[in-house]
Amino acid sequence: MAEQLRLMAVHAHPDDESSKGAATTAKYVAEGVDVLVVTCTGGERGSVLNPKLDRPDVWANIAEIRRAEMDAARTILGVEQAWLGFVDSGLPEGDPLPPLPEGCFALQDVEVAAGPLVRLMREFRPHVVTTYDEEGGYPHPDHIMCHKVSVAAFEAAGDPERYPELGEPWQPLKLYYDIGFSKAKIMALHEAMLAAGLESPYEEWLTRWEDRPDKGPRITTRVECAEYFPVRDDALRAHATQVDPDGFWFHVPMELQQRAWPTEDYQLVRSMVDSPLPESDLFAGVRETADAS
């Protein structure tokens, strides 16, 4: 029998698993792949972005509420989920930026912080790992730290001389960075909105893009998953404190999104298997290895 395929998606906060790569994970779950979402922090310092829930009683119980929201999103996506147990760093604002809170995730030693993730990799034994790029997808301290810890754990998990107390070595075969937005994607959605006679929410974004690098050329892998965009949005709405249901993310009609850009996109950065680029499957090259085992 072919070996069961396993995917690990490492994220910084509860809600990130629903806003980044969620349709991909839902697709693979539907295909019978075991998917484990790893959440590095509890999201304790995240903003309450739903104005209907910006209330003292919510803030007083924010840690418990974020865990309950994660439980709901996990059920919708059909994934397994594990907490690494680190404390949210918050997003510093101001000029100059204030120091990060003592003991937060972003201030941990990378070698030490990678340990719990190494343990999970050796227990779950993923074939494929997804995480953020070196900028964290966007420069939140926890996202950048998530990148550092994910790469460190990927490199260490298969080495019997590193973290020997954390279980039998297991080497994941592929590591990807999630490329959530490229200029081509934003332009495609923007033009589709205008063609439909609708006001585009991307006008200002495209104006600002002139001063930002485009990560589009880094994309190696496009996963067709438009069928699962509604599942993604349902999971995102489950994070009710994190997302305004009347906000930016939901302005583009679903059928337009599915038609204009039907993929979620990734950059392959490590591979232990032969998989010619470009790809359309995170398990390209892995399936053959698993079938032979």
Each residue's pLDDT tens digit, 245-281: 888 778 899 999 999 999 999 999 999 999 999 999 9
Look at the chain and report how many structural domains it folds into.
Answer: 1
Distance CA 170, CA 158 (A): 4
Confidence of residue 291 (pLDDT cuts 50, 70, 90): low
The burial class, CB within 10 Å (0-12 / 13-18 / 19+), for 38 is: buried
Residue 145, in any domain of the structure: yes
Give 200's Cβ-side CA count (13 Å radius).
Answer: 19
Q: Is 143 annotated as a binding residue?
A: yes
Structural domain span for residue 107: 6-181+216-292
Quote the tokens at residue 20: 């980044």
pLDDT tens digit sequence for 173-231: 999 999 999 999 999 999 999 999 999 999 888 888 777 789 999 999 999 999 999 99
Q: Is 88 annotated as a binding residue?
A: no
- Across 123-127, 242-246, 254-258, least confident range: 242-246
Residue 146, in any domain of the structure: yes
Helix or strand (DSSP H, E) at 89: none
Tell me phi and psi for residue 242, to 5 degrees.
Answer: -95, -20
- For the beta sheet containing 174-178, the strands, ordered from the edge strand earlier in sequence to the opposite edge, are 80-86, 34-41, 6-11, 128-131, 174-178, 263-271, 221-224
Asked if 128 and 173 touch (Cβ cutoff 8 Å), the reply is yes
Distance CA 50, CA 18 (A): 16
Instruction: Name the residue among 18, 150, 125 with its Cα closest to residue 78.
Output: 18
Please tell me the pTM assigned to this model: 0.95
Residue 94, in any domain of the structure: yes
Residue 200, in any domain of the structure: no
**CATH code assigned at 273:** 3.40.50.10320
Give 78's Cβ-side CA count (13 Å radius).
Answer: 16
pLDDT tens digit sequence for 35-93: 999 999 999 998 898 999 999 999 899 999 999 999 999 999 999 999 999 999 999 88
Q: Is 239 annotated as a binding residue?
A: no
Asked if 236 and 279 touch (Cβ cutoff 8 Å), the reply is no
**Residue 44 to residues 92, 136, 244, Cα–Cα distance (Å):** 14, 19, 18
Residue 195, in any domain of the structure: no
